[in-house]
């Protein structure tokens, strides 16, 4: 039975190396404490295979195993894959809700209600102008006022309509920019495919590429804001990524399948952009509602007159069709008759105004529910993000504690080495030297 003479040195050395690796890992964690998408890493230490010592006991003849130090088995990143998929699912919904809220808030601002400049006020002024005309039916100034109020009203309709269609156009342009050549989707997909290739090679070489894995996860997080993302990890460590409702996976190994067609149920920002401007979308509904108000206004006013006051039956085309001299307070043509003016003034609070008030309520409700959705999802995403941070985030307090632990470990290993060295010195320098 024997123990290799220099085994103690080897054991102490393995301690030094392992502690140093752990110290370096801790240092790396501290350095990356504020890096986006970084998962904290830890050096997994394992005991070395022991040295068997047969028949160590002279009495019983039983053997034993002598520990042979430590080795760093791997440096692993600490991450919960389940939280990742949860985060991405909620982040897609958040992307959609944020887009809805953003665009609908713009539409709401365009309505400019309640204010002294919106359509509601213009309508009210228009009715008042007819009231004044009814007081003095043949007065030229009163007719001018009716024309001016009518034109102002028509212009406000035209402007709001054009603003709403601009928002729809902008949404379409944004969709094209995101999905087009060298848009964000393609950019992310290319990076993912490239990382897939590199990760596969590194894993095959038995070196877990922690930083590349982190980068891939970060890209997937970002992609999930654009549309829903499902990630399947293949046995060869590449990720297959399905995107939105696209027919083929966006990324499969090192292959990118893009461009593809997305639908309005794709989720994320892209799905919301398709949905808002689609035939059942909120922007389309607002535009149609506004057209309806303009149509009602035009037909109810014109219905009381023999010469149409408004031309154009949609919000975009509404215009005043008569000159001041042609404004009729009455169908009879008598100078003092005012029945038409009174009838038009009595349209105040009527169908057009009710429809418009309903439309304002509609845009308000749409914005409110989008904002509520956004706030709720934001809370959820923040909660999941915090859970992820709790698992993967770098805690400086913890790293400082580890730093001390590993530093002390290193110092102790060095002390062991010194002890071994002194022991060997006794053997080498003093053994066999007697009586000199």
Partner 1 sequence: MSERITPAMVTSTTLSDLNSSLAALERTTNELSSGNTILEPSDNPYGASQVINLQSQLEGISSYESEAQNGISWESTASSALTNIGEVTQRVRELLVEGANGTYNKNDLETMALQVEQLTEGVKQDANTQYAGQYVFSGTATTTAPYEDGPNDEYKGNNETVSRAVGPSASVTITTNVSTLLGSGEAAEDGKLLDTLRTIAKNMRAGTEGQAALGTTDLQKLDGNIETLTQLQAISGSATDQLRTALTRNEQLQTTITAALANIDATNIPAASVQYANEQAAYEAALRAGATIVQESLLNFLQ
The binding site for partner 1 (CB under 8 A) comprises: 33-34, 105, 108-109, 111, 113-114, 120-121, 123-125, 127-128, 131-132, 134-138, 330, 332, 334-339, 342, 345-346, 348-349, 353-354, 356-358, 360-365, 367-368, 371, 382, 385-387, 389-391, 393-398, 400-401, 404
Which is nearer to partner 1, 211 or 339 (by Cβ)? Answer: 339
Nearest distance, CB of residue 416 and partner 1, angstroms:
25
CB 8 within 8 Å of CB 62: no
Closer residue to partner 1, CB minimum distance, 7 or 121: 121
> Shortest gap between Cβ of 233 and partner 1 (angstroms)?
25
CB of 74 to partner 1, least distance (A): 22
Q: At 186, which helix (H) or strand (E)?
A: helix 184-204
Nearest to 351 by CA among 310, 308, 295, 302: 295
Nearest distance from C-beta of residue 332 to partner 1, angstroms: 7
Q: Which two tokens stand for residue 89?
A: 């699912």
* 114 versus 181: smaller Cβ distance to partner 1: 114
Nearest alpha carbon to residue 201 among 235, 233, 237: 237
Q: Is 207 exposed, middle or buried (0-12, 13-18, 19+ CB in 10 A)?
A: exposed
Neighbouring CB atoms inside 10 A of 209's CB total 19
Q: 372 vs 425, which CB is nearer to partner 1?
A: 372
Which of 318, 329 has the CB closer to partner 1?
329
Least spacing, CB of residue 150 vs partner 1, in Å: 16
- Judged by beta carbon, residue 111 or residue 157, the one nearer partner 1 is 111
CB nearer to partner 1: pick between 183 and 374: 374
CB of 395 to partner 1, least distance (A): 4
Own/partner pairs, 382-389, CB within 8 angstroms, 24+ separation: 384/83, 384/86, 384/87, 384/90, 385/87, 387/80, 387/83, 388/80, 388/83, 388/84, 388/87
Task: Measure the CA–CA gap between 40 and 371, rounded to whole angstroms.
Answer: 35
Say how far apart CA 286 and CA 347 lie, in whole Å. Answer: 23
Q: Could you tell me the smallest distance in angstroms from the CB atom of residue 126 to partner 1?
A: 10
Of 186 and 339, which has the nearer Cβ to partner 1? Answer: 339
Q: Residue 286 Cβ, how far from partner 1 at the closest point, in Å? A: 12
Q: How far is the CB of 209 from partner 1 (least distance, A)?
A: 23
How far, in Å, CA of 71 to CA of 195, rounded?
29
In the numeric block, the tokens 């307070």 are attached to 329
CB of 29 or CB of 93, closer to partner 1: 29
Nearer to partner 1, 113 or 239 (CB): 113
Minimum distance from residue 429 beta carbon to partner 1 (Å): 40
Query: What residues contact 47, with CB distance under 8 A and at least 6 apart?
Result: 67, 68, 69, 70, 71
Q: CB–CB of 237/199 below 8 Å?
A: yes
255: three-class secondary structure by DSSP: strand
CB 198 within 8 A of CB 207: no
What is the three-class DSSP state of 79?
coil
Nearer to partner 1, 109 or 427 (CB): 109
Q: What region does 253 belong to: left with phi over 0, alpha with psi -120 to 50, or beta?
A: left
Q: Is 75 exposed, middle or buried (0-12, 13-18, 19+ CB in 10 A)?
A: middle
Least separation in angstroms between residue 136's CB and partner 1 is 6
Cross-strand bridge partners of residue 71 = 46
């Amino acid at each position: 039975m024997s123990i290799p003479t220099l085994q103690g040195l080897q054991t102490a050395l393995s301690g030094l190396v392992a502690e140093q690796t752990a110290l370096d890992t801790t240092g790396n964690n501290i350095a990356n404490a504020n890096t986006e998408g970084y998962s904290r890493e830890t050096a997994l230490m394992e005991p070395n295979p022991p040295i068997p010592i047969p028949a160590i006991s002279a009495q019983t003849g039983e053997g034993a195993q002598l520990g042979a130090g430590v080795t760093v088995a791997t440096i692993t990143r600490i991450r919960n894959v389940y939280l990742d998929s949860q985060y991405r699912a909620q982040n897609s919904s958040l992307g959609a809700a944020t887009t809805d809220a953003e665009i609908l808030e713009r539409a709401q601002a365009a309505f400019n209600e309640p204010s002294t400049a919106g359509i509601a006020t213009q309508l009210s002024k228009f009715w008042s102008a007819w009231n004044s005309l009814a007081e003095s039916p043949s007065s030229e100034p009163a007719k001018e006022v009716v024309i001016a109020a009518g034109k102002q009203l028509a212009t406000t309709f035209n402007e709001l309509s054009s603003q709403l269609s601009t928002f729809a156009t902008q949404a379409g342009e944004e969709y094209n920019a995101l999905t087009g050549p060298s848009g964000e989707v393609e950019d992310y997909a290319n990076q993912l495919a490239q990382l897939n290739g590199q990760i596969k090679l590194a894993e095959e070489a038995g070196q877990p590429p922690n930083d590349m894995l982190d980068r891939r996860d970060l890209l997937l997080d970002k992609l999930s804001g654009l549309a829903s993302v499902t990630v399947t990890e293949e046995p060869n460590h590449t990720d297959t990524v399905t995107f939105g409702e696209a027919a083929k996976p966006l990324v499969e190994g090192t292959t990118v399948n893009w461009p593809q067609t997305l639908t309005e149920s794709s989720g994320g920002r892209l799905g919301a952009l398709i949905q808002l401007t689609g035939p059942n979308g909120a922007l389309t509904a607002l535009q149609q509602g506004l057209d309806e108000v303009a149509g009602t206004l035009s037909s109810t006013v014109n219905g009381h007159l023999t010469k149409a006051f408004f031309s154009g039956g949609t919000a975009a085309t509404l215009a005043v069709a008569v000159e001041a001299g042609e404004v009729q307070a009455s169908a009879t043509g008598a100078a003092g008759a005012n029945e038409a003016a009174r009838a038009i003034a009595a349209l105040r609070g009527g169908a057009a105004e009710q429809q418009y008030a309903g439309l304002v309520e509609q845009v308000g409700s749409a914005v409110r529910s989008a904002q509520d959705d956004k706030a709720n999802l934001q809370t959820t995403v923040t909660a999941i993000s915090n859970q992820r941070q709790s698992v993967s985030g770098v805690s400086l307090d913890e790293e400082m504690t580890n730093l001390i632990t590993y530093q002390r470990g290193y110092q102790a290993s060095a002390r062991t080495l010194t002890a071994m060295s002194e022991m060997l010195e006794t053997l080498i320098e003093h053994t066999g030297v007697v009586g000199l």
